[in-house]
């Protein structure tokens, strides 16, 4: 795997806006078009295999927690546990997720965590970098990309549609104050429309509850039978209408068991079930148990978003990110340094692979890089090619 310089399109901002990628320059510098990462077929095959194996391991870990009922140490309350169990036992449909991996193209990929419930950077991974590739000439002309995200999403939405009634509608909800969340959700809505589904988009705050019928409704008073929500389950279950979810009759996508998979405490469960697995890092709920693996470790809140509230202890130094997460508890994971590459300005960049799972299959990757060792919401997105 290598990072190479690429000539940006002179009008790339306008070209990205044509396809709906309106947050390409969020915080002044997000999408990178002066470089790309290059992978070969063997590296892609390894990422694909590892992603699908990790997905199955997570499902086994979920089955273990559901069987044992060991929710308390994962700080999961009774309401959430009931929703997790009913959705997992029903094998409620899951659309997608993203594994964050440490991978340099040579050593075995190592799992940092699984963004199983509300993963973003989807539009740039599925659409933006594909359109960028089609515009390339020169040495990249005819290059491929590890990216079947859009096609696989179509397959999953078509499968989902088979369980719908003739008049059923799939509602899509996000926090519309967030441009990234809105574009991500509306992109998925567009894919669903391509798959033949009838849809409606609304803000999460516009979802109402009709008490006499015990059903969730949209602004027009229509019952919400099927709902994709880009809104974390751990927030849903603690809000006032969370108590009505179980009896609402609404099918949620992602299903409630994704709350369990996205809880970083499950990293400790994975290590218990699959000790010394080549793609896992040692992880415990008790920091002293990591001492046998050296002094370097990462402290992660059970729930956090976009790299917030992370503390990294490595090589005698401590690096922290801001945030208010952590009230539920922390998991402690052996530190594994991201591979570093030099950008076009001679600066050292720490590079993370986001590996997408759609349905139960590996679907492609997105590459993020940062000037620091912790990947955050401001980390840069760099396209990739397969050569």
353: left (phi over 0), alpha (psi -120 to 50) or beta: beta
Residue 215 token pair: 């059903």
Q: How far is it, in rounded angstroms, from Cα 128 to Cα 130?
A: 5
Q: What is the pLDDT of residues 103-128, one digit of tens each?
A: 999 999 999 999 999 999 999 999 99
Give the per-residue pLDDT at 69.
97
Instruction: Please say whether the beta carbons of 303 and 325 come within 8 A.
Output: yes
pLDDT digits (tens, 9 = 90+) for 322-374: 999 999 999 999 999 999 999 999 999 999 999 999 999 999 999 999 999 99
DSSP 176-194: TT-HHHHHHHHHHHHHHHH
pLDDT at 212 over 90: yes
What pLDDT does residue 29 have? Answer: 86
**For residue range 294-312, what is the model confidence (pLDDT) as tens digits?**
999 999 999 998 899 999 9
Asked whether the beta carbons of 387 and 381 are under 8 A apart, the reply is no
Q: Considering only CA atoms, which of 50, 77, 60 is closest in space to residue 256?
A: 77
Q: 346: buried, middle or exposed (CB in 10 Å: 19+, 13-18, 0-12)? A: exposed
State residue 138's pLDDT score.
87
Rounded CA separation 26/9 (Å): 19
pLDDT-based confidence at 382, cuts 50/70/90? very high
Output the CA angle 127-131-136, nearest 5 degrees: 150
pLDDT of residue 27 exceeding 80: no
Average pLDDT of span 88-114: 97
pLDDT of residue 306: 86
pLDDT score for 277: 98
pLDDT above 90 coverage of the chain, percent:
94
CA-CA distances (angstroms) from residue 41 to 44, 219, 278?
5, 49, 21
The pLDDT of residue 241 is 85
Separation CA 375–CA 380 (nearest Å): 9
- What residues pair up with 161 in beta bridges, in sequence order? none
Beta strands in 233-379, from DSSP E residues, in sequence order: 251-253, 283-284, 297-301, 311-314, 317-320, 330-334, 340-342, 348-358, 361-370
Please determine, for residue 174, whether its predicted confidence score (pLDDT) is greater than 80: yes
pLDDT, tens digit (0-9, with 9 covering 90-100), for 189-206: 999 999 999 999 999 999
pLDDT at 81: 97
What average pLDDT does the segment 72-89 reach?
96
pLDDT of residue 180: 93
Assessment of whether the complete model's pTM goes beyond 0.75: yes
Across all residues in the chain, what is the average pLDDT?
96
pLDDT at 153 over 80: yes
CA 7 from centre of chain: 29
Domain range summary for the chain, segments of one domain joined by +: 2-263+341-386
């Amino acid at each position: 795997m290598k990072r190479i310089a690429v000539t940006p399109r002179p009008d790339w901002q306008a070209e990205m806006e044509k396809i709906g990628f309106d947050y390409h320059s969020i915080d002044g510098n997000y999408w990178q078009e002066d470089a790309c990462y290059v992978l070969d077929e063997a590296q892609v095959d390894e990422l694909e295999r590892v992603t699908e194996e990790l997905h199955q391991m997570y499902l086994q870990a979920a089955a273990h927690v559901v069987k044992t009922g060991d929710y308390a140490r994962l700080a999961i309350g009774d309401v959430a546990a009931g929703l997790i169990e009913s959705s997992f036992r029903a094998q409620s449909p899951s659309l997608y997720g993203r594994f964050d991996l440490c991978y340099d193209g040579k050593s075995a990929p190592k799992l940092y965590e699984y963004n199983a419930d509300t993963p973003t950077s989807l539009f740039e991974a599925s659409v933006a970098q594909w359109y960028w590739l089609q515009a390339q000439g020169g040495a990249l002309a005819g290059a491929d990309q590890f990216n079947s995200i859009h096609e696989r999403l179509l397959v999953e939405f078509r499968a989902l549609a088979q369980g719908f009634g003739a008049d059923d509608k799939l509602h899509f909800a996000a926090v519309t104050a967030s441009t990234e969340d809105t574009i991500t959700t509306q992109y998925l809505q567009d894919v669903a429309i391509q798959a033949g589904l009838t849809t409606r988009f609304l803000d999460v705050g516009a979802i109402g509850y009709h008490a006499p019928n015990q059903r969730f409704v949209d602004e027009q008073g229509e019952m919400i039978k099927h709902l994709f929500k880009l809104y974390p389950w751990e927030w849903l279950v603690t809000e006032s209408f969370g108590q009505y979810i179980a009896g609402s009759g609404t099918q949620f996508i992602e299903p409630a068991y994704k709350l369990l998979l996205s809880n970083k405490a499950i990293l400790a469960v994975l290590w218990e079930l699959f000790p010394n697995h080549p793609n896992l890092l040692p992880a415990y709920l008790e920091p002293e148990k990591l001492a046998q693996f050296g002094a370097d470790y990462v402290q992660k809140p059970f729930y956090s978003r976009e790299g917030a509230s992370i503390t990294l202890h490595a090589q005698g130094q401590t690096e922290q990110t801001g945030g208010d997460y952590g009230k539920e508890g922390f998991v402690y994971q052996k530190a594994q340094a991201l591979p570093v590459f030099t950008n076009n300005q001679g600066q050292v960049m720490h590079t993370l692979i986001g590996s997408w799972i759609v349905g139960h299959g590996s679907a492609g990757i997105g590459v993020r890089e940062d000037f620091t060792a912790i990947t955050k919401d401001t980390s840069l997105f760099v396209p990739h090619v397969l050569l």
